[in-house]
Structures are given as structure tokens and as C-alpha cells.
């Protein structure tokens, strides 16, 4: 593979001049620039990234470590990050931690070893992984979930309030025995959604009961089983569901139990998905501004890369309830 020396030899200049011509850092005789460019093209020269990064002590690459590539919420974040990063010449590598602290650890190690310019992550409950980055002063932004007691730029959705509003909406529509299917304990979004749900019930003077709450991983299978149990033993008349994958499980369980969403059991789920309007009745959802979370996170990260001394900020975005048929008795 052609190196900078090959280009220099072909253009009849020094490697320093090639480097300067290609990077435009300092002025070079236009005549020489032309010769260098011609030689580089002729040889199909591509700079050696590792060598460049070794010398520069930084790569124009951001790492984005997300919890689940198969969750549309996180892929939308990824798009937001990419779109911003690309406009300023950074590449984004997407790493799928799969809600698994070991995989997350592995990707954090890769990010450190490859000396990426910065990291955006939706952290697992195991804070030690993020601490690895924090201790090295690697620019870091937490997205979707905060890092407790760590001074780190953070982009969140006010998911507790959103859960409260969703629950209040169900109460307003006349549902009284409202259940909640949320994610694992320790995952902040799961905890917050449960808190918001309880906030609404308490404010309305409705007794909350642990028998109406189920916690499981953020996937369809667990949610299906959880919903089936709730339906069998606790006769809820509505369910608040913490994400879209879980929603498919819950809806499947309703179908099996022969219970119609909306009319018989109200359903509100987090995350607006393409199919929400296709089912009958259409699914009422809490739409999170995922793409925007990605763009904001990327901007924060770029700002921190430019100035690691700036104070850490927390940006909280609002979610939006989209009322559809699954939460109406009519």
C-alpha cells in the first residue's frame, strides 16, 4: 500500500511537504500542491490512520455505545449522532452493548485503546465502565440514562413526567385498575417510568399495588409473560408499557387472552413506532425525541472535545403523548 514517502518521491518533494499539502495546515506553493495531489491520486494514496492517530494522539472518530441495536429508539439516536458528527468530519462507530455490562466493558476498552475522540453511551447500571472513561478524562456524554453522582454531560428525556402524564391520561379516560410493565430494576428509565406511574396514581388518590406492577428485561418475551400473569391474576383494566418491544409482547398476551386493547384494556406504550397506527385500535404512545437526543448529545460531545474544562450540563427533553385508540373506551 502506498505511503507518504511514495507520494513524496513521485512528486519530487519531501514527506513534510506532502503532509502539509494534503492537510492544508500551512501554505505550500500551489505548483507543489498540484504535483502532490496528482501523485497521491495516481498512487491511490490513503493515509495510514493508525500512524496518523499515533502521531496526533487522537482519532476523528466518536464511539456510540448503545443498549440495543434492535430497538428503534436507539437507532434513531444513532442517526442523530451521525448526522451531526458527519457535518464536522467525524466518523461514528456504533457499538451494541446489548444491555450487558460485559459487552459494554469490552467496547469501552476498545474505545480507550483506539483513542477515540469521545464516547456517547447509554450506560448499563454498572457504573464502573463509565468510570474507566471518566478517570482518563475521555470526553463522555451519557444519553437516555444518567450516571449517578458523576459530573458528565447528560441528555435525558423527562420520562418520569411522561409516565405520569400517560397514566393521568388513562385515569382521565376512566380506567381505574392500571398496571405497569417496566424494565429491570436499576435501569434508570425503567425506574423513572415506574415512579411516574406511581406519582399519577398517588396524586389521583388511587391506591398503588405491587400486584399491578411487573418488571422484566426490555424485550417482548418477558413482557408477554408478565402481561399474561397480570391479566390472569390482577385483572387490570389498563397497562402502561415501558418500551415498544415490550408493547409487542403485551399486545400478543392481550390477543391470547381475548382481550381487546382500548375497549377492554387500555394500553399506552413508550416510543412511537411505524406500526403504532396500523394495529386496531391504533396504539397510544409516548413519543420520545430520540433523533434530537442524538443531535444534542453529539453537539455536547463535540463541545467537550473542544474544551474539556467546561462545566457538565444535563439536558432534559420533553416527551409527547400521542393519543390514539388503544387508550379510549369508546
Partner DNA sequence: TGCGGTGGAGTAATCGTTTACTCAGAAACT
Partner DNA sequence: AGTTTCTGAGTAAACGATTACTCCACCGCA
Q: Which residue number, 54 or 232, has a Cβ lying nearer to DNA?
A: 54
Picking from 210, 207, 65, the residue whose alpha carbon sits closest to that of residue 145 is 65
Are 110 and 95 in contact by the 8 Å Cβ rule? The answer is yes
Binding at 248: pick from DNA, a copy of itself, none (beta carbon under 5-8 Å per type): a copy of itself
Binding at 286: pick from a copy of itself, DNA, none (beta carbon under 5-8 Å per type): none
**Taking the complex as a whole, how short is the minimal distance between the CB of residue 105 and a copy of itself, in angstroms?**
12
Centroid of chain to Cα 20: 38
The set of residues, in sequence order, having a beta carbon less than 8 Å from that of 233 and lying 6+ positions away, is 211
Q: Which residue number, 44 or 258, has a Cβ lying nearer to DNA?
A: 44
263 near a copy of itself, judged by CB under 8 A: no
Centroid of chain to Cα 175: 32
Binding at 253: pick from DNA, a copy of itself, none (beta carbon under 5-8 Å per type): none
Count CB-CB contacts under 10 A for residue 318.
11
202 near a copy of itself, judged by CB under 8 A: no
Binding at 20: pick from DNA, a copy of itself, none (beta carbon under 5-8 Å per type): DNA
Are 141 and 300 in contact by the 8 Å Cβ rule? The answer is yes
252 near a copy of itself, judged by CB under 8 A: yes
Please list, residue by residue across 232-250, b when 16 or more beta carbons sit within 10 angstroms of its beta carbon and e when fewer do: eeeebbbbbbbbbbbbbbb
82 near a copy of itself, judged by CB under 8 A: yes
258: its cell numbers: 381475548
**Given the rule CB under 8 A, which residues bind a copy of itself?**
1, 44, 46-54, 59, 61, 69-70, 72, 75-76, 78-79, 82, 86, 91, 93-96, 103, 106-107, 109-110, 112-115, 135-136, 220, 245, 248, 251-252, 255, 273-275, 277-280
Amino acid at each position: 500500500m502506498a505511503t507518504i514517502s511514495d507520494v513524496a518521491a513521485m512528486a519530487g518533494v519531501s514527506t513534510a511537504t506532502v503532509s502539509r499539502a494534503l492537510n492544508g495546515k500551512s501554505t505550500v506553493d500551489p505548483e507543489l500542491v498540484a504535483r502532490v495531489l496528482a501523485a497521491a491520486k495516481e498512487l491511490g494514496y490513503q493515509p495510514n490512520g493508525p500512524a496518523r492517530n499515533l502521531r496526533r494522539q487522537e482519532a476523528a472518530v466518536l464511539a456510540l455505545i448503545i443498549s440495543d441495536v434492535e430497538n428503534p429508539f436507539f437507532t434513531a439516536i444513532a442517526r442523530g449522532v451521525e448526522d451531526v458528527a458527519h457535518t464536522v468530519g467525524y466518523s461514528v462507530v456504533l457499538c451494541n452493548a446489548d444491555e450487558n455490562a460485559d459487552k459494554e466493558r469490552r467496547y469501552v476498552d476498545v474505545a480507550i485503546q483506539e483513542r477515540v475522540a469521545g464516547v456517547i453511551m447509554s450506560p448499563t447500571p454498572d457504573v464502573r465502565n463509565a468510570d474507566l472513561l471518566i478517570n482518563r478524562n475521555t470526553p463522555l456524554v451519557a444519553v437516555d440514562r444518567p450516571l449517578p453522582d458523576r459530573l458528565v454531560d447528560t441528555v435525558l428525556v423527562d420520562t418520569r413526567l411522561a409516565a405520569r402524564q400517560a397514566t393521568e391520561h388513562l385515569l382521565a379516560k376512566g380506567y381505574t385498575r392500571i398496571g405497569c410493565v417496566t424494565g429491570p430494576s436499576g435501569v434508570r428509565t425503567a425506574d423513572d417510568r415506574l415512579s411516574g406511574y406511581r406519582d399519577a396514581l398517588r396524586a389521583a388518590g388511587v391506591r398503588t399495588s405491587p400486584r399491578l406492577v411487573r418488571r422484566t428485561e426490555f424485550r417482548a418475551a418477558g413482557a408477554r409473560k408478565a402481561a399474561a400473569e397480570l391479566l390472569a391474576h390482577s385483572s387490570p383494566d389498563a397497562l402502561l408499557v415501558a418500551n415498544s418491544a415490550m408493547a409487542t409482547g403485551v399486545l400478543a398476551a392481550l390477543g391470547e387472552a381475548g382481550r381487546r386493547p382500548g375497549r377492554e384494556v387500555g394500553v399506552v406504550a413508550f416510543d412511537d413506532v411505524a406500526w403504532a397506527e396500523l394495529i386496531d385500535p391504533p396504539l397510544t404512545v409516548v413519543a420520545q425525541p430520540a433523533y434530537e437526543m442524538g443531535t444534542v448529545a453529539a453537539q455536547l460531545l463535540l463541545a467537550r472535545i473542544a474544551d474539556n474544562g467546561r462545566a457538565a450540563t444535563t439536558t432534559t427533553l420533553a416527551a409527547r403523548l400521542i393519543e390514539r385508540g388503544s387508550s379510549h373506551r369508546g
